[in-house]
Amino acid sequence: MSDEYIRVENLKKYFATKRGMLHAVDDVSFGIKRGETLGLVGESGCGKSTLGRCLIRLLDSTSGKVLLRNDDGNGYTDITKASPKEMKALRKRVQIVFQDPYSCLNPRLSVWELIAEPLIVNNIYSSKNEMRKRIRSLMDTVGLAERLENSYPHELDGGRRQRIGIARSLALNPEFIVLDEPVSALDVCIQAQILNLLNALQKEYKYTYVFISHNLSVVRHVSDRIAVMYLGQIVELSEYKELFDKPLHPYTQALLSAIPLAKLDVKRERIILEGDVPSPIEPPNACRFAGRCRYATDKCRSVPPALTEVLTGHYAACHYAKENVKQ
């Protein structure tokens, strides 16, 4: 754990519903190094956004730990147990960018006011001049022209609105940013601009990112490693290239088979998943993918597979992942 910036241990987030406990995030563990991007991918409802919110304590977890390396590099603080006073300091170090910038920006505030808001709330500057300089510099960093400072969100396109969201998240000089589907609501060409911006910012400021998306091809362009989630659990975790070249979990294989290939002469079998995703309310004590997996056996239907290191740094939660290595 020595070189990890953030360490998540056995994290669970359950919601009480009328029909029972909904297991949104169910015993998830992983680490992320400083300056690394971990892609978190899966179908909608798999728990990836809930996990992202628990990482920065926008949601309180049911149990488990989220250990964040201390400012001075010595030891870790468990964000799930931080006191309100500790949380106030931690809030400056962890931030989030949401999917739909329009719904999370106050329509009554101008670009200037929106970017100033986190600086004012946290009492960062006593001098107006200093704050003005900081806002101009943030606008410049995210590629917002100075002439837009008096514009309102409804006057701007989706890309510019997302740039405001990013500027707000950078305002307090964070170290760790959860990017929750940051480009899903944008046109394809604007998606590329925002992804390039996020990459450039990370290179310059060494941010640590968790990039959440339902789209594996988007995640591939920004991630160092990718974690695939299914029904509240991580089923595969690997360096991004190896995950694409040698997926070990049948669910990852199915997701990858749905991505169109750029080369016309390369053929890949399209795996159509049949069956329904089981209910996240009191899920079965077995492999949660068994009802849709073409390789499922009796063992899969009665014994839950643990997330195991099958190849160096490549983890999979499948009883037969080792056999997949040989194929």
Closest to ligand SF4 by CB, 43 or 224: 43
Closest to ligand SF4 by CB, 23 or 249: 249
Interaction between residue 30 and ligand SF4 (CB under 6 A): no
Q: Please choose, out of 41-49, 101-109, 268-276, 292-300, the segment that lies near ligand SF4 by the rule CB under 6 A.
A: 292-300
d(CA 24, CA 45): 8
Closest to ligand SF4 by CB, 105 or 310: 310
Residue corresponding to tokens 């099958």: 310
Q: Among residues 296, 307, 314, 315, which is the contact residue for ligand SF4, using CB under 6 A?
A: 296
Closest to ligand SF4 by CB, 222 or 248: 248
Q: Quick one: how far is CA 297 from the chain centroid?
A: 32
Interaction between residue 283 and ligand SF4 (CB under 6 A): no
Query: Mapping DSSP to helix (H, G, I), strand (E, B) and coil, where does residue 270 land?
Result: coil
**CA distances in angstroms from 291 to 41, 271, 276, 283, 301, listed in the order given:** 20, 15, 7, 12, 8
Closest to ligand SF4 by CB, 218 or 307: 307
Long-range contacts of range 108-111, CB-CB < 8 Å, 24 or more positions apart?
108/152, 109/152, 109/153, 110/149, 110/150, 110/151, 110/152, 111/139, 111/144, 111/148, 111/149, 111/150, 111/151, 111/152, 111/153, 111/156, 111/164
Residue corresponding to tokens 């959860």: 178
Closest to ligand SF4 by CB, 142 or 237: 237
Q: How far is the CB of 249 from ligand SF4 (least distance, A)?
A: 6
Q: How far is the CB of 235 from ligand SF4 (least distance, A)?
A: 7
Helix (H) or strand (E) holding 168: helix 158-170
- Compose the 221-260 pattern: x for residues touching ligand SF4 by CB under 6 A, - for all others: ----------------------------xx----------
Q: Among residues 289, 307, 314, 315, which is the contact residue for ligand SF4, using CB under 6 A?
A: 289
Q: How many other CB atoms sit within 10 Å of the CB of residue 112?
A: 17
Q: Is 20 left (phi over 0), alpha (psi -120 to 50) or beta?
A: left
Q: How far is the CB of 318 from ligand SF4 (least distance, A)?
A: 3
Q: Please choose, out of 22-30, 106-114, 147-155, 293-301, the segment that lies near ligand SF4 by the rule CB under 6 A.
A: 293-301
Interaction between residue 13 and ligand SF4 (CB under 6 A): no
Q: How far is the CB of 291 from ligand SF4 (least distance, A)?
A: 8
Q: How far is the CB of 243 from ligand SF4 (least distance, A)?
A: 15
Give the up-direction half-sphere exposure of residue 242: CA atoms within 13 A in the CB hemisphere. Answer: 18
Contacting positions for ligand SF4 (CB under 6 A): 249-250, 287, 289-290, 293, 295-296, 300, 305, 318-320
